[in-house]
Amino acid sequence: MKVHILDQILNNRKRILVTGGAGFIGGALIRKLLSDSSAKIFNLDKFGYASNQDSINKKINLLGQSALERYKVLKLNLANFDQVNQAIKIAKPDLIFHLAAESHVDRSIDSPYEFISSNILGTFNLLESVRTFWNELPLKRKEIFRFHHISTDEVYGTLGNEGKFSELSTYRPNSPYSATKASSDHLVNAWHQTYGIPTVITNCSNNFGPWQYPEKLIPLAIFNALHEKKIRIYGDGQNVRDWLYVEDHVDGLLIAANKGKVGKSYCIGGFGETTNKDVVLKICKLLNKLSPNKTDYETQIEYVEDRPGHDKRYAIDSDLIQKELGWIPNNSFEESLEITVKWYIENQDWCEKLFLKSGYFGERVGLKNNQNYKN
């Protein structure tokens, strides 16, 4: 019989609801739960432009019938309260990982309403359904129940050249995306303080890895490079992000949800602080090695007009989760970037299929309100 190494950490949490499980991070989490636990998994997702289940289907094919029987999709929009309520009644979860959100800053600049609806109203609807459900649980299940809200370091705004964000940093979001994520964090905290829902929040840095829809810096740069398009760097390329490999993030989520203190927040960083220019140069170097072209990929780099309200620098102090819960990332930025570049080289069909489905082909977004911009 297969030993499920995660069952011990899950500590009797046998029914797990993942919202946003058809997205990048949710998909990685579900794959891990399917292969390393015996829990029943419910994937609540609206199946938006960035969603797909290919990675999960591939995992289920590998694992066989028992995994298929433990997995159920609940296709719905969190903005619809009645449907959310119904989904909670079906899933009867012991643990919720709430990842569903509109997640791309550039899109939030062009179309903020979607972000208000999914990230704020969606979180409110989920919390309200959970409140009724949790209140009616028998004491034992009530005690083990956890609501884990997955958020971002962008709620803290921007840093200068020095310092790092921690759990004590002040909320100062600057983009429509980060403002909606900050709002949802506040809702989750309020539902804990006021109604007693056992919550945990994590605020992580920029994720990257295989199976990410190619609209954010790393997968988009790789995709555009491979398709002989311009690799766009916003502004002077000196903005800094802290890059976290998605598999390391998933390990952090599993520890924080199950071992984290109720009502607390934990920051999860990747020890991967890098300027955007250096990220793109590293990608070009890897492509030159792994998929050489007649010309150096660097010649495709183009510096373009900056993003409106562009946060200068993000960096995370992961001391608390390290000391309290023993989490540290297992992969260096360099190693995981190479794995990621290789994966995109080998899976170009997958990106093209997603683009055909969504009608986006790697063009610039986020300047719709700027009259002078021509794509």
Q: Which does 188 bind (CB under 5 to 8 A by kind): ligand TYD, ligand NAD, none?
A: none
Q: Does 329 bind ligand NAD (CB under 6 A)?
A: no
Tell me 237's DSSP state.
S
Considering only residues 171-210, where is the footprint of ligand TYD by CB under 6 A? 206
Bridge partners, residue 146, by sequence: 95
Q: Which does 118 bind (CB under 5 to 8 A by kind): ligand NAD, ligand TYD, none?
A: ligand NAD
Q: Does 268 bind ligand TYD (CB under 6 A)?
A: no
Two structure tokens written together for 5: 């190494």
Q: Does 155 bind ligand TYD (CB under 6 A)?
A: no
Bridge partners, residue 313, by sequence: 159, 240
Q: Which does 13 bind (CB under 5 to 8 A by kind): ligand TYD, ligand NAD, none?
A: none
Nearest to 201 by CA among 161, 129, 253: 253
Per-residue mark of binding to ligand TYD, 74-113 (x: CB under 6 A): -------------------------------xx-------
Out of 107, 232, 249, 313, point to the residue binding ligand TYD (CB under 6 A).
232
Q: Does 181 bind ligand NAD (CB under 6 A)?
A: yes
154 in catalytic set:
yes
Using DSSP's 3-state secondary structure scheme, residue 208 falls into strand
Choose the catalytic residue: 71, 156, 177, 266: 177
**What residue has token string 């986006």?**
360
Please say which residue, 15 or 307, places its beta carbon nearer to ligand TYD. 307
Please say which residue, 254 or 284, places its beta carbon nearer to ligand TYD. 284
d(CA 311, CA 221): 19
Q: How far is the CB of 3 from ligand TYD (least distance, A)?
A: 38
Out of 25, 84, 233, 301, point to the residue binding ligand TYD (CB under 6 A).
233
Using DSSP's 3-state secondary structure scheme, residue 162 falls into coil
Q: How far is the CB of 240 from ligand NAD (least distance, A)?
A: 15
User: CA torsion 81→179→308→354, rounded to 10°?
Assistant: -40
Largest CA distance in the chain: 67
**What residue has token string 């995994």?**
67
Choose the catalytic residue: 45, 94, 106, 153: 153
Q: Does 282 bind ligand TYD (CB under 6 A)?
A: no
Considering only residues 18-37, where is the footprint of ligand NAD by CB under 6 A? 20, 22-26
Q: Does 78 bind ligand NAD (CB under 6 A)?
A: yes
List the end-to-end C-alpha distance of the chain, in Å, as a whole number: 56
Question: Is residue 34 packed enough to be buried (19+ CB in 10 Å), middle (13-18) or exposed (0-12)?
Answer: buried
Please say which residue, 18 or 217, places its beta carbon nearer to ligand TYD. 217
Bridge partners, residue 19, by sequence: 44, 98
Q: Does 207 bind ligand NAD (CB under 6 A)?
A: yes
Q: Does 206 bind ligand NAD (CB under 6 A)?
A: yes
317 in catalytic set:
no
Using DSSP's 3-state secondary structure scheme, residue 62 falls into helix
**225, 299 contact by CB (below 8 A):** no
Q: Does 274 bind ligand TYD (CB under 6 A)?
A: no
Rg of the chain over Cα atoms, rounded to whole angstroms, equals: 20
d(CA 86, CA 82): 6
Two structure tokens written together for 191: 């539902």
177 in catalytic set:
yes
Using DSSP's 3-state secondary structure scheme, residue 146 falls into strand
d(CA 20, CA 73): 11
Sites of contact with ligand NAD (CB under 6 A): 20, 22-26, 45-48, 50-51, 77-79, 99-103, 118, 122, 150, 152, 181, 204, 206-207, 213
By annotation, the residues acting in catalysis are 153-154, 177
Which residues lie near ligand TYD (CB under 6 A)?
105-106, 206, 216-217, 220, 232-234, 239, 241, 276, 307
